[in-house]
Structures are given as structure tokens and as C-alpha cells.
Structure 1
């Protein structure tokens, strides 16, 4: 019965709180969860199911809790044995908790709120976000572009567009020529985002206007060259290596609460460019706007985040961390200047 409900969700029966269908990426992840649950059932030779609580009693509730707590520990062990990280396992349990809530709400079945007995391990990580100097380098320094292939130049242009507009990769690749409009001499990108369906209007700076004009004359309806997410992620790493972002930057993964460094082939540590991906663009755009002092509610409007969004709050924390580092650097310079002044006074 448990697995049948997941199948029903994947068929589009489950809706978001606003009544919209869940997006394709979410369905794909539910399908992964479904596959893992089937594999678990086959391995353990069991069937996961709910007990209908037609009568409330302490004894039955206790039995039900023991059943689901045991399932939580056994299924978590099964996932760890497959080598999954805390973050990925947490996402799986988050989906299962969502499923149980949906069953209770939509099916009105008399089952225990078993999601209360599933714990999601919280993991923190520092995603790669281009610093303002790195972004300025891509925008203003034309020397490095001379050594790039035409393919990497197109990827660089897409990357700059993403780091400026803050759109999700699907929305960025979906931009059509009619999404680019002019009002009172200013270029804007207007669109309804795929994931949230929210209306967004973003001003286009001069350097991005030049990029759009380059591709606007091309055949086809899209504003930018088209790449799959997987292909783009491969090429953006090659671009990062070409422009010299080769400083060592290890990658860590949390496994059972312990952080372990992930190695490349040949037992080598990751370099900066290894971390670059399509997600870097959106993170960079949002964080850069916050660091440069754009009010949060304006940045949310650009990025399409809802007020109070937990996801958006992560960017606020990252931006604050970057600002703290800048302030610390300023304090160090102030301290150095103060010491220099004292030394000059002693010598006179």
C-alpha cells in the first residue's frame, strides 16, 4: 500500500499547496525513492504498509511507533550501505514524510502521523559562489576569451547571463527572443518562471545586452545557445580551468555525521573549477545582489522566491558571511595603518 501511494503521486494526483501539479524534477526524485523502497522490500522480503487505527489505544499506538521507528533505522542503514551521503538520505526522508502527510490529508485514512518518527539529518555545506572580483573578471577582461573555443565562448556567455539574472537553469535555457523587451530605452527580461509560475521582470545591464544581441540574430526562437544541464556542467568546468581558477578547494561529504573529503581520480583533491555547475549561476547572482546592498525583497522579486522562503534565507546567510569577511579585512587594514602611523610617530 505504501508504494502504491507513491505511484499515485507520480501520476500527478498530488498537488502543491497552491493547487499546481508538482514539477517533473520532483516526480523524477519520487521515482528514485520508489525504486529504492522496492529494492528494500525485495531485499528484506517484506511489504511496507500502514495499520488503520480504527480504535485509539496506547498499546496499538506503541506497536505502530515501534514498527515505523524500526523501519526508519533499517531503511537508513540500507541507504548508508549503498554509500549515500547524509544530505541525499535526508532528501529521501523528506520526500517520504511529505508522502505520509499527503496520505493523511488527501485520503483521510485513520493512520498514525508516522512522519513524526522520521528524523532528517541537517547538513551544512558551502556552495561555490563566484566572488565579485571573479565575476568582474569574466565581464571585463577580454584577454582570456581569445584562447577559448567557440563552444566555451557560448558557455561563458550563458554563465554570465545566469550569474546576472539569477534564473534557474531551466528558465534560462527556456528564454525566448520575445522575453527580451525594451521600455524607455532599457532592456528587460520578462517571464513566468517554470517552477513557481511567478512573474519576473529583470533589467538587463549593458554587457548582457551585448551578449543577447549576439545571439538574437540566430535562427530559432531561443535567446541563448541550447545545452543540456549535464553537458553544460561538463563545459563550465572546462571554462573554469581555462581561465585559471585552479586553486585547490577540497570537496567534503557528510556520512553518518562525519565529514569526509571526496577525492578525484588519482587520489587528487578537487580544484575550484571542479565545483562549478549550473547551480553556481543562480547562487552567484542572488548573493552578489545582496552583497552589493540590494534590499532582500527586491532580490526575492528577481529570483522568484516567496517571502519567508527557507531557500532564500540560505543566500542571506551566505551573503552575510561574505560581508563579515570583507569587514574583517577592513579591520585588518585599519590595524596595519594604525601601527604604521605609530611607527612613523616614533621615528620623528
Structure 2
């Protein structure tokens, strides 16, 4: 239900300053646009309400209880709207997945926080159609057994999904199921199984992708390549975006969100979207340097002017790096399903993507002798084990360090 919002009306606050929280549904009746408001039964002061996220803020002492009741009421309204009192054969699992996605949208969550669930839902629809063709019924929560896990893994492998993608699919699926399982007393009509909590559910052997930072020479070439891009304005923006990532360590999801409001006392202050709901101190503090400042000045202190979809950005990056002759051969493993990977040697420009700017930033910081705690403060990492996956020191640097050590 895309037209269901959660709102308050500040001009209707009571004497104590509290506003009723409403669900507002927009619809068209007889060609006329209308809307209906349904009281949630919860009240909040405007100062304790997030208009963007449509949630009660932590400054309200009862925020957790109120937000929980809002989620419950939202799903009740969604159920009533979808059922219309009719009993039809449907996929309980996929229907609930759609409601879960719509709930996150209504709560004002960023698209990055629910698009993975959309991907999982689309895959589950395809898998369900395969099951139905084999004589099975539509998917229910009670079907989430270890046998279901095995069947889904084999189905995804037969379609050449990378093992890491298969693992990520199950992790996302479990997050969704947890939402309903934790509220199982409120859904007596749903039969649950706890097989999905077992370690064998969704168990596959994954692989790690090695970091691929730019080396010192490649970084210098990128820094001074404007003369090669005089007639390629689209590549100039791609170059500037990647370079900005190299000197700030920002992820793609945060790279295009920087404005003057993020600059304070010579620092870029950013709250990473990836960890906004999982970390209490979710701030990265990155010193503004001559390169990042010049890029910001070029785009009027608004990196949103550089924004491209991830697919287009990565495609143009490969075009840029091919033009710059970043063509050292790199041995790489390609996975297609759960079988043994194929080993190929590919030119570096074919392998580089938006994420490698972060590899470059962290590796350059290590090479320049910046302390690990400082780097983690800039990147937002809380564990060194996670951060070290971005580090790759070239042989020239290692030899140089040893030369000065003895």
C-alpha cells in the first residue's frame, strides 16, 4: 500500500502539547482524489516526532513502545485493505514480505535499507513458481525448514548465483522472518518453525574478494588526467567522484550526500547510511584536505551534483580506467554457483568499481603511517578485523619499509 503514510497534525495538539499520530491513506473515488485518516491510538509531542522517518524519537521516554504499536497497527490496516474479507489462495510468506517492505517505507526508511528485501522478494517469487511447477503449494512460514533451505540453495546455485549472493539472500530472509517470529503471539494465524534459526539453514561456503586499491602511480595519473578528458564531461564527473572517495573513504551510499552542512571545523562529518540503525555513535569525522576541498568547491559544495546510479557509475569507471591504461593483469576467481571457481587473468580496469575507492583510502592511510584508531574514526569501523579486508600493500612499499628498517 504505497499511499499509506504516518503523520501528526501539530496544529491539533492538545493542552499538554501532544498530537495524535494518524495513518493517512490517499485514494481515488469516482475520479476524485480523497484521503482517509485513521487514529493510531498513540500520541506524541511534535518535538519528539521525526517527520522524515515517521517515527517517535528516542527523546520520548515511551518511544520503543509507541513505535512497536505503530508497526502493529500499520500491519493491521494493511491486512484489512488487502483481504477485503475474502479468503483466497495466496503466498503467506511473500504477502508478508511485501507488507514488511511497505512498513519500512511508511516508517521513512531510506531505500538502501529496504531495497535488499525487494530483491529477496523477487527471487522468492521465482523460487515459489518453480516449487509450484514441481507440485508444491504456495510458500508459508511453516515451510522454512532445513529441507527448504537445501532446495533454495540448490535452485540458486543452478541459476549460477555467486555463493556470497546466496549467503546474503538467506541473511536478509532471516531478518524479515525474525520480524514476524518475534511478534508470533500477535499472529496466531501463522504457523512458525524455528528451523530457520539453526546453523545449517542457509549454510554455504563463502569467499572473500581481495581488496584492489589504486597504487601510487595510478593515483597520481588519476589526479592529473583532466587534459585527457577535455571532451568527455561525463568522465570528468566520474573521475571527481571516485577521487573524492579515494581521499575520504566514503562508501557509494554516502559519497553523494555531502554539502556545506557536513563541514565543521575542517572536518567532513557524516552519518553513514549503512549503519544508521545499528550504531549509537554513527558519525565519521574525516579531515578536509586540499583534494577533497577543491572537488567540493568545483561542485558548489554539493556532491549530489555528481550522483549516478551505481550501475552507470561502475560502467563509466571502467571506461575511465581503460582510457587511463590501468591494465595490469590481475588473477581473479569467478564463481558461478557452488562449484569450483574459474581462474582468469583480467586487466585491472575490468575489475575496479566504486568500492575500490575505499580500498585506496584505507591502504594509502596505512602506507602514510596514520594510526589504526584514527583511520577507524574516519571510516566508521569498530573492528580492525573488518577494516583490514580493505588493506593491500604492494611489494614496492613492503621492500621500501624493510629497506629503512635495517
Global fold match (TM > 0.5):
yes
Higher relative contact order (CA 8 A, sep 6+): 1
Please show how residues 216-255 of structure 1 align to structure 2 within 5 Å.
Answer: 216=300, 222=303, 224-254=305-335, 255=337
Please show how residues 32-71 of structure 1 align to structure 2 within 5 Å.
Answer: 32-45=119-132, 46-51=137-142, 68-71=145-148
Distance 2:204 2:367 in 1: 31
Q: CA deviation at 1:26?
A: 4.1
Q: CA deviation at 1:329?
A: 7.0
Counterpart secondary structure, 1:246: coil
The structure 2 residue matched to 1:191, chosen from 263, 270, 278, is 270
2:271–2:283 contact (8 Å) kept in structure 1: yes
Distance 1:87 1:96 in 2: 14
Match status 1:89 vs 2:161: no
1:121 is aligned to 205
User: 322-331 or 41-50: which moved more?
Assistant: 322-331
1:59 is aligned to none
2:398 is aligned to 327
1:266 is aligned to none
2:242–2:357 contact (8 Å) kept in structure 1: yes
Distance 1:328 1:235 in 2: 34
Counterpart secondary structure, 2:268: strand
Distance 1:315 1:222 in 2: 25
Distance 2:196 2:284 in 1: 39
Distance 1:328 1:289 in 2: 18
Q: CA deviation at 1:22?
A: 5.7
Distance 1:293 1:257 in 2: 41
The structure 1 residue matched to 2:254, chosen from 171, 184, 193, is 171
1:290–1:316 contact (8 Å) kept in structure 2: no
1:283–1:315 contact (8 Å) kept in structure 2: no
Match status 1:293 vs 2:375: no
2:267–2:288 contact (8 Å) kept in structure 1: yes
2:359–2:390 contact (8 Å) kept in structure 1: no
1:250–1:261 contact (8 Å) kept in structure 2: yes
Q: CA deviation at 1:13?
A: 5.2
CA gap 1:304/1:314 in 2 versus in 1, 3 angstroms? closer
2:358–2:390 contact (8 Å) kept in structure 1: no
1:190–1:200 contact (8 Å) kept in structure 2: yes
Cα RMSD after superposing both structures: 3.2
Distance 1:76 1:270 in 2: 29
**Higher share of residues assigned helix:** 1
**Deviation digits for residues 206-259 of structure 1, max 9, x if unmatched?**
233223222228xxx556533332222122112111211112224422331411
Counterpart secondary structure, 2:253: helix
2:250–2:358 contact (8 Å) kept in structure 1: yes
The structure 2 residue matched to 1:260, chosen from 337, 342, 361, is 342
1:24 is aligned to 111
Distance 2:303 2:194 in 1: 50
2:215 is aligned to 131
Distance 1:35 1:105 in 2: 24
1:93–1:120 contact (8 Å) kept in structure 2: no
2:215–2:394 contact (8 Å) kept in structure 1: no
Question: What is the TM-score of this pair, normalised by structure 1?
Answer: 0.73
Question: What is the TM-score of this pair, normalised by structure 2?
Answer: 0.63
1:249–1:272 contact (8 Å) kept in structure 2: yes
The structure 2 residue matched to 1:315, chosen from 371, 387, 391, is 387
